[in-house]
Structure formats: structure tokens, C-alpha cells
Copies of this chain bind each other. A is one copy, B any other.
Amino acid sequence: MPPTAIRGPFLHLIDDPFYRPISDCLRYLPDGLMVVENGIIVEIGPYAELKNRYAQLPLTHYPNKIIVPGFIDTHVHFPQTEIIAAYGEQLLTWLDRYIFPTEQKFSDRAYALTVAEHFLDELLRHGTTTALVFTSVYPQSTDAFFEAAQARNLRMIAGKVLMDRHAPEALLDTPDTAYSDSRQLIEKWHQQDRLLYAVTPRFAITSTPEQLRAAGRLLQDFPDVYMHTHLSENTAEIAWTNELFPEAGSYLGVYDQAGLLGKRSVFAHGVHLSETELCRLSECECAIAHCPTSNLFLGSGLFPLHQAKNPDRPVKVALGTDVGAGTSFSLLRTGGEAYKVAQLQQQSLDPFQALFLATLGGAQALCLEDKIGSFIPGKEADFIVLDPQATPTLAFRNQPYLSVLNPALNSALNSELSEADADDRSHQGDIANERQMADLRSLIFSLFILGDERAIHATHIAGMLV
């Protein structure tokens, strides 16, 4: 692939703004140039500095937009695409009434492939370029998913669901087939192109202790695969789990005793965790996928984000849409509802923190921060182009802040600095001043609160527009 160049306003985070001052974490190039070769970022900097060197490259220009790293969805179920917005239940009855019947269709590989393709097109349309994905219990559905993801050259992580009890017979595997089918899928798909595998027990209720131990053996045998499951979503679920595993001491303890905690372990929800459980997650470098649209839709509760992010025992947190219990594929909508969930707890969520959760935070949760999540040379060039004027509502609201996307006006903002200082700061992509920061914050916030897939002006995978 010949190298290409992308010009426009670039915004990304290079560190965790829950733990460091936001201005230290944020990088903004009002008029940047990014050079991509073979899907990899080879250089990024101010357009004015780089333009002569790369004058011969084909250039895509996105003026008045905001280019950010592709969104990362750390918890989503592809077989539930068709059952999004199913009415009237909370978690356990919702599973019985809607999800288990639907997932049985995924024994049909052709059907699974059709849905996987639609699902991935939806992700891209919504600006999501990487996801950690539940398939179904049927290995053929996992094959179908990976096939569709490979065809699109996506960095995706997925796994066959493990469940050997408390679900319809047709959906059950066994500890043995859980092990052998997963092993086969790992050998077939893990590290193929940009694909990665996650051992995926549905949740404690639907796996026997034997099956959870089989999952633990898989993680021992393949130490660089992921583990992906649900944790502490709903109070009735927690009560039943405690009944089923009285010796585990806690919900997290169930997974812990099976050897499922590690730095590539991602737990969806974690709405009702104790401080002890959070400490253990921190110790083991596990991640939580915060799924606010789902937690509201199923009435599961309010995830205590700021408690989870306590710097004294840091826990990796990222965002999950959790479609089909989640109500949108959009990480913008998801971040917007994360803000509302924080507000209900009398806390706030800075839009740059939300942007972190949706990008670099997701990459860190997936131990992929060396590959995706920010615009650092050497990383993969999955990025999206946000349009802060995508709807009449956004355009009207954002009028006062758009000048921050205009390179000429941004230079003017820098005039309070000495020329040398300003050059140096702009070269690094440091935030120029408080006005620039405030205007960017307002634009990004508007996209989380008011935006959706219409605000995704373009999605690029490994540099290529899709």
C-alpha cells in the first residue's frame, strides 16, 4: 500500500486523565498531518512543518472536523444485534425471554455470517474500529465472526461462549467441549492478521465450576489470549451466584478461584462490586467494561466510575455498548450516558475523560495500548472523523466553538506566547491555552451528549476510508 496523508484537526490522549492533569494527557493539532504507510502511522505533526516533506503523497483533508482514534467497544454481543431494544425485562428474565431463543439461531453458520457482517458494518458506521465481542456457544458462529472481521482487516477480539447449565439444552456445551472447541478456535484465529481470541464464559450462573476451571486451563495453555465475561451486573444475578458458589466469598471470587483473573481479563458491568473486589481487580490488572446504556436499559444500577478509578488502587475501566442490552452501537451515546450515570451519583465526567475511556482507555483495558488508541508513530492507523455540525441541533449549539478547529484562529490564540514557545508547544500538540481547551471540551461534550453515528463523518481502518 503506498503511503497516504491525512490533514485536519487531530485530537487524542496519551495518558490517563483520571490520574494525571487533563492538559498533560491531551494532544491537539489544530492543523495536523498524519502519514500512514502499510496501515501504520509513520509520522504525525503540524501540517506546516511536514507539508513540504510529504507534498507528493495523496492527501485527504478534513477541515472543520475533529480526527480522533477509532472507538473501542470493550463489551458487545454480535448475536444480539437483532434483539436490541427488547421490551420489559430485567437481566435474568430478559435472557430467558429474548436472548437464549435468539442465540439458538447462531448454530446456522450462514445466518451467523449474515449477522456478523451487518454487525461489523454497524460498528464501523458508528465509529467503532475495535471491539471485544461475545459470539455464541456455537463455534461456527465464532468462525463466522472472525471471517467477517478478517475480510474487513479489523482489529477484533472475540470468543466462543462457554455455558453448560441454566440455559436451554440447545445452547449448552460441556467442560470438555468448551476446552476443545475453544482450543481449536484459538489455534485457528488468534494472532491471525489483526484478530485475537478471548476465552468467554458467559457468566458464573451458566457455567459449572468444572467449566470455569476448563476456562482457566485454556488461559494457562495460551497465556496471551483474553478472558471476557460478565460480573456483578444485577442484584438478583449476584444473589443467585452467591447461592451457586457459597465457598467463593464473592462474585469475583468465583472467577478468581478458577484462575480467570489476569491483565487480559475484561469483566463487563461490575455495577455492584465491593471495595475488596475492586482491590483484587486492581492487583490482577483486570479491566472493567462500563456499559451505561445497558445498565439503565435493564435497570441494573449505576456504575460507580469514580470509585472504580480510585488512584490508590487503579482499575482499568473502558466503555462497552453491551448491545443487545445496550441501546446503541455508538460510543458517543455510551459516553453521554456514562456522564448521566455519574451525574446521578453527584459526580462529573469530563468529556476528555469520556474520550479517553472510548479510545486509549479501551486500548489499555485490552492491553493494546502499543497498537491502537492514540496517534503515536508505530501504531495502527484506525481513526475516525467527528463532525461537530452533523445535525441542526449540533450545528446551532456549536457555532461559538468552531473557531478552535480553524488553524488561522488557533495561531491567533497562541499570540500571548513567545513565538519560540508557541512553536514548541504546537509541535508537540500541547494544548495552547485555556480558551482552546474550553472550546474543545465543549465540542467533545456536545458530541457525547447530542451525537450519534451521524457525527461519524468518516471511519478509516489501517488508514483506508471505509
Contact = CB atoms under 8 A, between A and B. Distances in A.
A393 interface: yes
21 contacts: A84-B393, A84-B450, A85-B397, A85-B445, A87-B442, A88-B348, A88-B350, A121-B392, A122-B392, A122-B393, A296-B343, A297-B339, A297-B340, A297-B343, A299-B340, A299-B346, A301-B344, A327-B450, A328-B393, A391-B453, A452-B452
Interface string A107-128: 0000000000010011001000
A99 B440 CA distance: 20
A446 B88 CA distance: 12
A83 B296 contact: no
A336 B343 contact: no
Interface of A: 81-85, 87-88, 90, 118, 121-122, 125, 296-299, 301-302, 327-329, 336-337, 339-340, 342-346, 348, 350-351, 391-393, 396-397, 399, 441-442, 445-446, 449-450, 452-453
Contacts of A122: 392-393, 396
Given A122-B392, A393-B122, A297 B85 contact: no
B298 A393 contact: no
Contacts of A393: 84, 122, 328-329
A82 B348 contact: no
B351 A87 contact: yes
A329 B392 CA distance: 11
For this chain, the copies found in one complex come to 2
Contacts of A301: 344
B297 A397 contact: no
A393 B321 CA distance: 14
A299 B81 contact: no
Nearest to A119: B396
Given A118-B396, A125-B392, A327-B336, A343 B450 contact: no
Contacts of A348: 88
B397 A449 contact: no
Nearest to A451: B85
